[in-house]
A and B are shown apart, each in its own frame.
Chain A
Amino acid sequence: MTGPLLGTEQLACRFGGLVAVGGVDMSVQRGDVQGLIGPNGAGKTTFLNLISGHVRPTGGAIFFEGSNLEALPPQRRAAIGIRRTFQNLRLFREMTALENVMVGLHAGTESEIFHSLLRSRKQRREERETAQASRAALDFVGLAGCENLVAGALPYGHQRLLEIARAFVAKPKLMLLDEPAAGLNGAEAGQLVGLIRRIQAAGVTVILVEHHMEVVMRACDRIVVLNYGKKLADGSPADIRDHSGVIEAYLGARLPASAKQTDVKPTGAPCSQKSAMLRISGLHVKYGQIPALRGLDMDVGAGEIVALIGANGAGKSTTLKAISGLVSPSAGTLELKGRSLAGLAPEQRVELGIVQVPEGRRIFPRLTVDENLLVGAYPARARADERQARERAYTLFPRLAERRRQAGASLSGGEQQMLAFARAMMAQPLLLLLDEPSLGLAPILVEEVAAAISRFHRDGATILLVEQNAELALSLASRGFVIETGRIVLTGSGPNLLKNPEVWASYLGQGDWEAAPDNGRREPASMN
């Protein structure tokens, strides 16, 4: 049968004011490993959700083997041969590995209540065959011998493989893999590439969403790049690697000079003991068994803008969470103006002046703009000047003033970001932590974000800016730190880092990562 296995025509999905996927045409050839990449917030996971049926499109159509998937619910799509894994690992944590995989065969088997109660011959045969096929699938992904271990107790890398086994066991026609390499170390990522090729050899067509560039380049036959919900590029790995638009999308386009209004002299030197606002030494943070930060060292001087950049999953958000007290470190120290933050609850840190604008804005959806700002002034130190601070916020962000009685959820992405900034400023911060403020925003809004950050800095705030958009962050900051798998690998002045090709390599995995003796981790180099 000719023709693509899967085709989308002008596929679109919007959530209220946010356009997640904006009219994408794509076709996946039978037997291909099709990569789908793009910066955070580009719409990749939403796209997968549309194909698997977990989210309904607001426009366009999806064709599978020539027929329109239309309103087919997820379980029916699974039954006709579309299987998937999930970005945040959705295993049946309390069932054994074998049972997890056996569930994958639910659609192809039949035994119901009566047969199970009577343990009929048909049921016993079916159970046997299901178990056998499941064992084979476990073996195929490299988990032979784990079958009786409870899924929640498996090491992280094995859990990822288990999810793939569960999807593979049903011999699907199309398999959707959502960031299977997230959190894997270098060796595991290499094994993943091999597994994906073996899945392909078994006759399965694959759509791979991934951030890990080496995995994408090595495992995929074709790659589609999404940005702001639209297709940016479509071609072979070689085409994409050299595509300037793609590089720009990831690292950020060059900003017009007007947006960079800081008058900070880029020094690049680490600050002295006295002027350090924030000092981090040897910070280790784990999520369960998974290490997120492996000995992080950083410092931010009073009145500085410091950038923390790195690829997705490198540990940027975790660092901010540790500073704000939302996660507890397993080792290492955090000091604000020389005073240890250990043991302080998040609320107490806010009272000390550490204010974070979290990733994804996180404004309160059902409170009005006014109420959001009111909440921002909650800390005791901020209450006295609350009214003036509010008026100042409305002067700085006139669009917010227009919408002061509107609920937060009804604002557009850019407006929500402005609100998040304004809300943070209400707390009279000493140290302002910004977690990916440009995430999912169109370029013109990114300029506004840059301008707002410059303004805060001029008003005296010390800022730690975490960004995937290296261009934005490094052009605003006096100093930058590059983080990779939980450690700082590069540091230097903003402009110097901007010119340093090693920064790009850290993002796009262009180094010869297999040959590197320590799986690609480099010693921090200082570039002054």
Chain B
Amino acid sequence: MKSVVARVLVLSAFVAAPFVQTNHYWQHVFCVALIGVVLALGMQLLLGMAGLLSLGQAAFYGIGAYVSAALTLYFGAPFLVAFILAGVAAAICSLLLVPIVRLPGSSLAVATLGFNIIIYLVLLNEDWATGGSFGIMNVPAPRIFGFAFAGERAMYFLCLFVAVVVYLGMERLVHSRFGRALRAISQDEDAARASGISVNLYKSKCFLVAAFTAGIAGSLYAHQARYINPYDFSFTKSIEILIMVVVGGLGSMPGAVVGALIVVLAPEYLRSSGELRLILFGALVVVLMGFSRGGVAGLVSVLGQQLTRFRPLRASKATSSGEPQ
């Protein structure tokens, strides 16, 4: 629920960030956070909109990263081409999941996890193509029409641009016939079928879009970190992406953004507490799960309801008010 004013403010904050924080390490972390945002947005479409618990997004992330790195490094392809093809390659690979899309929730989760592990092992072992455990080094910085995004700050703005475009795209999808179909499927599959929706077809399409998103995020990562290896794309990453979406709030695209920022930035801020930081982070996740709609978005809506208690009842799209038991 963002008004134009709110959006401009938030965007300005993002734009201002690398100028306010000039430390290169932190700018690098912000880049990583923005790439996380792109990943979280794709996951939100899968889990928050369509209700599909996929634990394999990191596989598409990895496919995108390797394809983009290989195309630019070994074939001299221009960055934009590699970037798009990374997404396309990941999307094509998502077709492998079509047969399992119809599985019930828990089985789907484990099957996508299995898929992630298979891809990870392929990346790890086929060293003729991927460099094996050594990975790929010296991935070139992105060049678009001659302009090289060499510095941290330039890279940040490239990532920000992609994140904004993906966000707007997701918004449009959510408020379209496609998004309605996904939400209907997640809320009541039988009723969705009774309204004419081909449930399995739409689940597959959802995977396709999410994979594409993860693929382009992978491309960004490859050219930002300049060095990729398979360990970056193990199922630990898939679980991290899941935590981003649930911490931010299921079903809310702004929530996915917030969740990604928290998951990437919080451990950094907690670095000072040493060994405790991951314990504190784990505890934070558990506590946030106590809020019904989950995550920060749920917390905000609860607070918001408290504040608007004295105003006349207004409709809200993403949350339901006064649901009967």
Contacts and interface: CB of A to CB of B under 8 A. Distances in A.
B is a partner of A: yes
Interface of A: 52-54, 73-75, 78-79, 83-84, 86, 90-96, 99, 102-104, 106-109, 111-113, 116-117, 119, 123, 126-127, 130, 148-150, 152-153, 156, 166-167, 170, 287-290
A153 B193 CA distance: 23
B185 to A, nearest CB: 9
11 contacts: A54-B190, A75-B198, A93-B323, A94-B183, A94-B251, A106-B180, A108-B196, A111-B176, A113-B178, A116-B178, A148-B315
Contacts of B321: 150, 153
A509 B323 CA distance: 33
B191 interface: yes
A79 B196 contact: yes
Given A54-B193, A96-B315, A288 B199 contact: no
B65 interface: no
B311 interface: no
A524 to B, nearest CB: 29
Contacts of B187: 92-95
Interface string B162-173: 000000010011
B194 A74 contact: yes
Contact of B323 (A126, A153, A166): A153
A131 B198 CA distance: 21
B86 interface: no
A90 B320 contact: no
A489 to B, nearest CB: 27
A109 B177 contact: yes
A488 B184 CA distance: 41
Contacts of B193: 53-54, 73-75, 78
Contacts of A78: 193-196
B274 interface: no
Contact of A123 (B176, B181, B323): B176
A103 B181 contact: yes
B320 A150 contact: yes
A154 to B, nearest CB: 9
Nearest to B318: A94
Interface residues on B, range: 35 or more
Contacts of A126: 177
B188 A99 contact: no
The 5 closest A-B pairs by CB, nearest first: A288-B324, A107-B196, A116-B176, A148-B315, A78-B196
A148 B169 CA distance: 23
Contacts, number: 128
Interface of B: 169, 172-173, 176-181, 183-184, 187-188, 190-199, 205, 209, 251, 315-317, 319-325
A92 B191 contact: yes
B205 A113 contact: yes
Most chain A Cβ neighbours within 10 Å, of B187, B194, B209: B194
Contacts of B319: 150
Nearest to A119: B172
Contacts of B191: 86, 90-92
Contacts of B323: 93, 150, 152-153
A94 B172 CA distance: 19
Nearest to B173: A116
B178 A95 contact: no
B320 A84 contact: no
Contact of A117 (B169, B183, B320, B324): B169
Contacts of B325: 287-288
A103 B184 contact: yes
Contacts of B317: 96
B239 to A, nearest CB: 26
Nearest to A73: B193
A113 B324 contact: no
A150 B197 contact: no
A83 B191 CA distance: 10
Contact of B196 (A75, A86, A93): A75
Contacts of B178: 111-113, 116
A116 B172 contact: yes
A117 B172 contact: yes
A380 B288 CA distance: 41
A173 B309 CA distance: 45
A75 B199 contact: yes
Contact of B188 (A90, A113, A127, A148): A90
Given A75-B199, A104-B195, A166-B195, A153 B177 contact: no
Contacts of A113: 173, 178, 205, 209
Nearest to A290: B324
Most chain B Cβ neighbours within 10 Å, of A78, A79, A116, A170: A116
B166 to A, nearest CB: 11
A106 B196 contact: yes
Nearest to A99: B180
A83 B195 CA distance: 7
Contacts of A290: 324
Contacts of A99: 180, 183
Contact of B184 (A86, A95, A117, A123): A95
Nearest to A169: B195
A84 B193 CA distance: 11
Contacts of A86: 190-191, 194
A75 B195 CA distance: 7
Contacts of A107: 195-197
Given A94-B183, A287-B325, 13 more contacts: A78-B196, A79-B196, A92-B184, A94-B187, A103-B180, A103-B197, A106-B195, A107-B197, A112-B177, A113-B209, A116-B178, A126-B177, A153-B324
A53 B199 CA distance: 14
Nearest to B316: A150
A99 B324 CA distance: 19
A149 B177 contact: no
B172 to A, nearest CB: 6
Contacts of A106: 177, 180-181, 184, 195-197
B300 to A, nearest CB: 17
Most chain B Cβ neighbours within 10 Å, of A54, A95, A106: A106
Nearest to A78: B196
A153 to B, nearest CB: 5
A152 B184 contact: no
Contacts of A149: 315
A382 to B, nearest CB: 33
Most chain B Cβ neighbours within 10 Å, of A52, A73, A103: A103
A96 B322 CA distance: 13
Most chain A Cβ neighbours within 10 Å, of B176, B197, B199, B319: B176
A87 to B, nearest CB: 12
A82 B323 CA distance: 30
B315 A74 contact: no
A94 B180 CA distance: 11
A430 B179 CA distance: 56
B188 A130 contact: no
Contact of B177 (A90, A111, A156): A111
B169 A103 contact: no
A183 to B, nearest CB: 12
Nearest to A101: B195
A107 B202 CA distance: 13
Contact of A54 (B169, B184, B194): B194
A107 B198 CA distance: 9
Contacts of B179: 116
